[in-house]
Protein backbone atom coordinates (compact mmCIF):
# COMPACT_ATOMS: atom_id res chain seq x y z
CA UNK A 1 0.00 0.00 0.00
CA UNK A 2 1.47 3.35 -1.05
CA UNK A 3 0.62 6.64 0.66
CA UNK A 4 -0.52 8.07 -2.69
CA UNK A 5 -2.22 4.97 -4.17
CA UNK A 6 -4.83 5.99 -6.74
CA UNK A 7 -3.82 9.68 -6.70
CA UNK A 8 -3.34 11.54 -10.00
CA UNK A 9 -1.83 14.93 -10.66
CA UNK A 10 0.75 17.19 -12.24
CA UNK A 11 4.38 17.85 -11.32
CA UNK A 12 5.67 21.08 -12.90
CA UNK A 13 9.39 21.82 -13.10
CA UNK A 14 11.52 18.91 -14.25
CA UNK A 15 14.49 20.19 -16.27
CA UNK A 16 16.85 17.24 -15.67
CA UNK A 17 17.55 14.42 -13.21
CA UNK A 18 18.87 16.88 -10.61
CA UNK A 19 15.63 18.90 -10.52
CA UNK A 20 13.80 18.83 -7.19
CA UNK A 21 10.66 18.03 -9.23
CA UNK A 22 12.36 14.85 -10.50
CA UNK A 23 13.06 13.71 -6.92
CA UNK A 24 9.48 14.53 -5.95
CA UNK A 25 8.26 12.52 -8.97
CA UNK A 26 10.36 9.54 -7.89
CA UNK A 27 8.88 9.64 -4.36
CA UNK A 28 5.31 10.17 -5.60
CA UNK A 29 5.50 7.28 -8.07
CA UNK A 30 7.04 4.98 -5.44
CA UNK A 31 3.99 5.74 -3.27
CA UNK A 32 1.54 4.84 -6.05
CA UNK A 33 0.78 8.19 -7.74
CA UNK A 34 0.19 8.70 -11.47
CA UNK A 35 1.72 11.92 -12.77
CA UNK A 36 1.80 14.23 -15.79
CA UNK A 37 4.87 16.41 -16.32
CA UNK A 38 4.44 19.92 -17.79
CA UNK A 39 7.84 21.30 -18.82
CA UNK A 40 9.35 24.37 -20.46
CA UNK A 41 8.60 24.06 -24.22
CA UNK A 42 11.26 23.12 -26.76
CA UNK A 43 12.49 19.85 -28.25
CA UNK A 44 15.75 19.92 -26.30
CA UNK A 45 13.86 20.49 -23.04
CA UNK A 46 11.46 17.65 -23.81
CA UNK A 47 14.37 15.28 -24.53
CA UNK A 48 16.00 16.19 -21.19
CA UNK A 49 12.75 15.66 -19.28
CA UNK A 50 12.20 12.26 -20.92
CA UNK A 51 15.80 11.30 -20.11
CA UNK A 52 15.32 12.31 -16.45
CA UNK A 53 12.06 10.34 -16.26
CA UNK A 54 13.67 7.31 -17.83
CA UNK A 55 16.46 7.50 -15.21
CA UNK A 56 13.82 7.12 -12.49
CA UNK A 57 12.13 4.38 -14.54
CA UNK A 58 8.83 6.12 -15.26
CA UNK A 59 6.95 3.82 -17.62
CA UNK A 60 5.16 5.61 -20.50
CA UNK A 61 5.79 9.20 -19.24
CA UNK A 62 3.18 11.83 -20.06
CA UNK A 63 4.94 15.14 -20.75
CA UNK A 64 3.36 18.40 -21.91
CA UNK A 65 4.92 21.71 -23.00
CA UNK A 66 4.03 24.67 -20.77
CA UNK A 67 5.63 28.07 -20.40
CA UNK A 68 3.93 29.31 -17.23
CA UNK A 69 4.22 32.93 -18.37
CA UNK A 70 1.55 32.05 -20.97
CA UNK A 71 -2.09 31.71 -19.84
CA UNK A 72 -2.78 29.86 -23.08
CA UNK A 73 -0.12 27.22 -22.28
CA UNK A 74 -1.53 26.72 -18.77
CA UNK A 75 -5.08 26.44 -20.19
CA UNK A 76 -3.88 23.80 -22.66
CA UNK A 77 -2.21 21.77 -19.91
CA UNK A 78 -5.35 21.68 -17.77
CA UNK A 79 -7.62 20.93 -20.76
CA UNK A 80 -5.36 17.97 -21.63
CA UNK A 81 -5.29 16.91 -17.97
CA UNK A 82 -9.10 16.95 -17.77
CA UNK A 83 -9.20 14.73 -20.85
CA UNK A 84 -6.53 12.33 -19.55
CA UNK A 85 -7.32 12.09 -15.82
CA UNK A 86 -10.81 13.68 -15.57
CA UNK A 87 -10.04 14.76 -11.99
CA UNK A 88 -6.78 15.30 -10.10
CA UNK A 89 -5.56 15.08 -6.49
CA UNK A 90 -2.32 17.09 -6.49
CA UNK A 91 -0.26 19.72 -8.26
CA UNK A 92 3.41 20.32 -7.50
CA UNK A 93 4.83 23.73 -8.49
CA UNK A 94 8.62 23.34 -8.55
CA UNK A 95 9.79 26.09 -10.89
CA UNK A 96 11.26 29.55 -10.81
CA UNK A 97 13.14 31.98 -13.02
CA UNK A 98 15.08 35.23 -12.68
CA UNK A 99 17.69 36.80 -14.94
CA UNK A 100 20.97 35.52 -13.43
CA UNK A 101 22.73 38.85 -14.17
CA UNK A 102 20.94 40.23 -11.10
CA UNK A 103 21.52 37.21 -8.85
CA UNK A 104 24.84 38.47 -7.56
CA UNK A 105 25.81 40.25 -4.36
CA UNK A 106 25.54 44.00 -4.92
CA UNK A 107 23.05 43.75 -7.78
CA UNK A 108 19.64 43.87 -6.05
CA UNK A 109 19.27 47.66 -6.20
CA UNK A 110 20.17 47.43 -9.91
CA UNK A 111 17.21 45.14 -10.74
CA UNK A 112 15.37 46.62 -13.75
CA UNK A 113 11.55 46.77 -13.72
CA UNK A 114 11.17 44.12 -16.44
CA UNK A 115 13.53 41.69 -14.68
CA UNK A 116 11.60 42.16 -11.42
CA UNK A 117 8.20 41.64 -13.12
CA UNK A 118 9.38 38.56 -15.01
CA UNK A 119 10.79 36.93 -11.85
CA UNK A 120 7.54 37.58 -9.95
CA UNK A 121 5.37 36.48 -12.88
CA UNK A 122 7.11 33.15 -13.54
CA UNK A 123 8.07 32.29 -9.98
CA UNK A 124 5.02 33.46 -7.99
CA UNK A 125 2.01 34.48 -10.11
CA UNK A 126 2.20 31.15 -11.94
CA UNK A 127 1.10 29.39 -8.72
CA UNK A 128 -2.09 31.47 -8.66
CA UNK A 129 -2.74 30.82 -12.37
CA UNK A 130 -2.20 27.08 -11.87
CA UNK A 131 -4.37 26.90 -8.72
CA UNK A 132 -7.24 28.60 -10.57
CA UNK A 133 -7.20 25.87 -13.25
CA UNK A 134 -6.56 23.02 -10.79
CA UNK A 135 -9.55 23.88 -8.57
CA UNK A 136 -12.33 22.61 -10.89
CA UNK A 137 -10.40 19.36 -11.45
CA UNK A 138 -9.90 18.71 -7.71
CA UNK A 139 -13.40 17.35 -7.27
CA UNK A 140 -12.44 15.26 -4.21
CA UNK A 141 -10.31 18.06 -2.73
CA UNK A 142 -6.57 18.00 -3.24
CA UNK A 143 -3.11 19.24 -2.40
CA UNK A 144 -1.16 22.05 -4.07
CA UNK A 145 2.50 22.32 -3.17
CA UNK A 146 5.08 25.01 -4.02
CA UNK A 147 8.85 25.03 -3.55
CA UNK A 148 10.46 27.95 -1.77
CA UNK A 149 13.71 29.03 -0.06
CA UNK A 150 14.77 30.85 3.13
CA UNK A 151 15.84 33.86 1.01
CA UNK A 152 12.15 34.88 1.18
CA UNK A 153 12.52 35.69 4.88
CA UNK A 154 16.15 36.84 5.21
CA UNK A 155 18.33 38.79 2.81
CA UNK A 156 20.70 36.13 1.49
CA UNK A 157 23.53 37.62 -0.59
CA UNK A 158 23.00 36.87 -4.28
CA UNK A 159 19.42 35.58 -3.95
CA UNK A 160 18.08 39.11 -4.52
CA UNK A 161 14.93 39.41 -6.67
CA UNK A 162 14.33 35.68 -6.29
CA UNK A 163 13.93 36.24 -2.54
CA UNK A 164 11.24 38.82 -3.23
CA UNK A 165 9.52 36.39 -5.63
CA UNK A 166 9.64 33.63 -2.99
CA UNK A 167 8.08 35.97 -0.41
CA UNK A 168 5.22 36.56 -2.89
CA UNK A 169 4.98 32.82 -3.54
CA UNK A 170 4.73 32.02 0.18
CA UNK A 171 2.10 34.73 0.73
CA UNK A 172 0.20 33.36 -2.28
CA UNK A 173 0.11 29.88 -0.71
CA UNK A 174 -1.51 31.37 2.40
CA UNK A 175 -4.14 33.31 0.43
CA UNK A 176 -4.86 30.29 -1.77
CA UNK A 177 -5.11 28.06 1.32
CA UNK A 178 -7.60 30.46 2.93
CA UNK A 179 -9.73 30.60 -0.22
CA UNK A 180 -9.60 26.98 -1.43
CA UNK A 181 -9.91 25.29 1.97
CA UNK A 182 -13.70 25.17 1.73
CA UNK A 183 -13.31 22.98 -1.37
CA UNK A 184 -11.05 20.56 0.52
CA UNK A 185 -7.97 21.87 -1.29
CA UNK A 186 -4.84 22.30 0.84
CA UNK A 187 -2.03 24.62 -0.26
CA UNK A 188 1.43 24.46 1.32
CA UNK A 189 5.05 25.22 0.56
CA UNK A 190 8.29 23.40 1.30
CA UNK A 191 11.35 25.54 2.00
CA UNK A 192 14.30 23.42 0.92
CA UNK A 193 17.88 23.97 1.95
CA UNK A 194 20.35 24.55 -0.91
CA UNK A 195 20.61 21.72 -3.47
CA UNK A 196 22.83 21.47 -6.54
CA UNK A 197 20.50 22.06 -9.50
CA UNK A 198 20.53 24.17 -12.68
CA UNK A 199 18.63 26.95 -10.89
CA UNK A 200 20.78 27.11 -7.77
CA UNK A 201 23.95 27.28 -9.88
CA UNK A 202 22.68 30.65 -11.18
CA UNK A 203 22.84 32.16 -7.69
CA UNK A 204 26.10 34.03 -7.08
CA UNK A 205 28.11 32.66 -4.10
CA UNK A 206 26.18 29.37 -3.90
CA UNK A 207 29.30 27.32 -3.04
CA UNK A 208 29.87 29.48 0.03
CA UNK A 209 26.26 28.85 1.07
CA UNK A 210 26.69 25.05 0.81
CA UNK A 211 29.85 25.26 2.87
CA UNK A 212 28.33 27.51 5.55
CA UNK A 213 25.16 25.38 5.91
CA UNK A 214 27.18 22.18 6.28
CA UNK A 215 29.06 23.75 9.18
CA UNK A 216 26.23 25.65 10.91
CA UNK A 217 22.99 23.71 10.34
CA UNK A 218 21.90 21.66 13.39
CA UNK A 219 22.35 18.43 11.39
CA UNK A 220 25.83 19.65 10.25
CA UNK A 221 25.16 18.85 6.61
CA UNK A 222 23.22 19.99 3.58
CA UNK A 223 19.85 18.48 2.85
CA UNK A 224 19.33 15.81 0.15
CA UNK A 225 16.73 16.15 -2.60
CA UNK A 226 15.17 12.81 -1.61
CA UNK A 227 14.33 14.34 1.78
CA UNK A 228 12.36 17.08 0.03
CA UNK A 229 10.57 14.35 -1.97
CA UNK A 230 9.56 12.55 1.24
CA UNK A 231 8.11 15.74 2.77
CA UNK A 232 6.23 16.41 -0.47
CA UNK A 233 4.68 12.92 -0.21
CA UNK A 234 3.61 13.68 3.36
CA UNK A 235 1.95 16.95 2.28
CA UNK A 236 0.12 15.34 -0.65
CA UNK A 237 -1.01 12.36 1.45
CA UNK A 238 -3.79 11.90 3.95
CA UNK A 239 -1.16 12.12 6.72
CA UNK A 240 -1.31 15.91 6.21
CA UNK A 241 -5.12 16.12 5.96
CA UNK A 242 -5.18 18.86 8.63
CA UNK A 243 -2.25 20.88 7.26
CA UNK A 244 -2.77 23.89 4.99
CA UNK A 245 -1.25 27.34 4.49
CA UNK A 246 2.00 26.05 6.02
CA UNK A 247 5.61 26.47 5.00
CA UNK A 248 7.68 23.45 6.07
CA UNK A 249 11.46 23.80 6.20
CA UNK A 250 13.47 20.83 4.94
CA UNK A 251 16.86 22.41 5.50
CA UNK A 252 18.75 20.30 8.07
CA UNK A 253 17.46 22.85 10.59
CA UNK A 254 19.49 25.80 9.26
CA UNK A 255 16.61 28.32 9.53
CA UNK A 256 16.27 27.90 13.32
CA UNK A 257 19.85 28.97 14.03
CA UNK A 258 20.74 32.62 14.71
CA UNK A 259 24.45 33.34 14.37
P1 LIG B 1 15.67 23.34 -11.78
O2 LIG B 1 16.45 24.30 -12.61
O3 LIG B 1 15.94 21.92 -11.96
O4 LIG B 1 14.12 23.61 -11.92
C5 LIG B 1 13.57 24.86 -12.23
C6 LIG B 1 12.50 24.62 -13.25
O7 LIG B 1 11.81 25.83 -13.57
C8 LIG B 1 13.04 24.07 -14.57
O9 LIG B 1 12.40 22.86 -14.89
C10 LIG B 1 12.68 25.14 -15.58
O11 LIG B 1 12.39 24.65 -16.86
C12 LIG B 1 11.43 25.70 -14.92
N13 LIG B 1 11.03 26.98 -15.50
C14 LIG B 1 11.72 28.15 -15.53
N15 LIG B 1 11.00 29.08 -16.22
C16 LIG B 1 9.84 28.47 -16.60
C17 LIG B 1 8.71 28.90 -17.33
N18 LIG B 1 8.60 30.15 -17.84
N19 LIG B 1 7.71 28.02 -17.55
C20 LIG B 1 7.79 26.75 -17.09
N21 LIG B 1 8.83 26.28 -16.37
C22 LIG B 1 9.85 27.14 -16.14
O23 LIG B 1 15.99 23.80 -10.27
P24 LIG B 1 15.35 23.34 -8.89
O25 LIG B 1 16.36 23.72 -7.88
O26 LIG B 1 14.87 21.95 -8.96
O27 LIG B 1 14.14 24.34 -8.71
C28 LIG B 1 12.82 23.91 -8.44
C29 LIG B 1 12.17 24.81 -7.40
O30 LIG B 1 12.82 24.63 -6.15
C31 LIG B 1 12.26 26.30 -7.71
O32 LIG B 1 11.08 26.93 -7.29
C33 LIG B 1 13.43 26.73 -6.84
O34 LIG B 1 13.40 28.11 -6.55
C35 LIG B 1 13.13 25.89 -5.62
N36 LIG B 1 14.24 25.75 -4.65
C37 LIG B 1 15.46 25.34 -5.06
C38 LIG B 1 16.47 25.20 -4.13
C39 LIG B 1 17.87 24.78 -4.55
O40 LIG B 1 18.82 25.00 -3.80
N41 LIG B 1 18.04 24.12 -5.69
C42 LIG B 1 16.24 25.47 -2.77
C43 LIG B 1 14.97 25.87 -2.38
C44 LIG B 1 13.97 26.01 -3.34
Q: Which of 102, 149, 150, 234 is the catalytic position? A: 149
* From 15, 96, 232, mutation site for ligand 1 pocket: most ligand atoms within 8 A of C-beta: 96
d(CA 185, CA 231): 18
Secondary structure element (H or E) that encloses residue 112, with its range: none
Q: Distance (Å, rounded) from C-alpha 86 to C-alpha 105? A: 47
Position 204 confidence tier, pLDDT thresholds 50, 70, 90: confident
CA 218 / ligand 1 centre spacing (Å): 26
What is the pTM (predicted TM-score) of this model?
0.98
How would CATH label the architecture of 8-246? 3-Layer(aba) Sandwich (3.40)
Q: Is 94 in the pocket of ligand 1 (CB under 6 A)?
A: yes
117: helix, strand or coil? helix
Q: Tell whether the model's pLDDT for residue 69 goes beyond 80.
A: yes
Q: Whose CA is nearest to atom 21 of ligand 1?
A: 40
Nearest CA to ligand 1 atom 27: 95
Buried b (16+ CB within 10 A) or exposed e, 33-64: bbbbbbbbeeeebbebbbebbeebebeebbbb
Region 213-224: what's the mean pLDDT? 98
What is the rounded CA–CA span in Å between residue 75 and residue 54?
27
Torsion from C-alpha of 24, 45, 7, 252, nearest 10 degrees: 10
Question: Residue 120: how many CA atoms within 13 Å on its side-chain side?
Answer: 13
pLDDT at residue 97 in the model:
98
Give yes or no for residue 19 CB within 6 A of ligand 1: yes
Give the distance from CA 59 to its chain's centroid: 23
Q: Which residues pair with 37 in a beta bridge?
A: 63
- Other beta carbons within 10 Å of 135: 17
Q: 194 in ligand 1 pocket by Cβ < 6 Å? A: yes
* Cα–ligand 1 centroid distance for 199 (angstroms): 6
Q: How confident is the model at residue 259 (pLDDT cuts 50, 70, 90)?
A: confident
Instruction: Give yes or no for a contact between 40 and 245, defined as CB atoms under 8 angstroms apart.
Output: no
pLDDT in tens, 140-190: 999 999 999 999 999 999 999 999 999 999 999 999 999 999 999 999 999
Question: Which tens digit of pLDDT belongs to each residue from 7-40?
Answer: 999 999 999 999 999 999 999 999 999 999 999 9
- What are the domain boundaries of the chain? 8-246
The pLDDT of 193-203, averaged and rounded, is: 94
Ligand 1, atom 40, lies closest to the CA of 194
* Contact 138 CB / ligand 1 (< 6 Å): no
Choice from 77, 197, 208, 232 to test ligand 1 binding pocket (greatest atom count within 8 A of CB): 197
In the chain, which ranges are continuous DSSP H helix? Answer: 20-30, 43-55, 71-85, 113-120, 126-134, 160-180, 206-216, 225-236
149 is catalytic: yes
254 catalytic per annotation? no
pLDDT tens profile 31-67 = 999 999 999 999 999 999 999 999 999 989 999 999 9
CA distance 255 to 154: 10
pLDDT value at residue 85: 98
Instruction: Give the residue among 202, 95, 89 at the shortest CA–CA distance from 148.
Output: 95
Choose which residue among 95, 99, 192, 228 to substitute to test ligand 1 binding: the one with the highest number of ligand atoms within 8 A of its C-beta: 95
**Cα–Cα distance, 29 to 4 (Å, whole number):** 8
The string of DSSP codes covering 18-46 is: TSHHHHHHHHHHHTT-EEEEEE-SSHHHH
| Residue 70 · residue 43 · CB < 8 Å | no
Atom of ligand 1 nearest to the CA of 162: 34
pLDDT at 124: 99
Q: What is the pLDDT of residue 205?
A: 87
Q: 104-124: per-residue pLDDT in tens? A: 999 999 999 999 999 999 999
Amino acid sequence: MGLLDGQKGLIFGIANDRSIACHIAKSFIAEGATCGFPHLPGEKNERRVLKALSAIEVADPWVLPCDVSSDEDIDNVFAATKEKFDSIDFVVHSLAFADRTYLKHGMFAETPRDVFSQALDISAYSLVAIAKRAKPLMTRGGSILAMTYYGSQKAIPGYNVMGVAKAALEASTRYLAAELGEFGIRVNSVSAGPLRTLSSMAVGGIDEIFDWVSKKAPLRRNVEAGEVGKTAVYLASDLASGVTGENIFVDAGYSVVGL
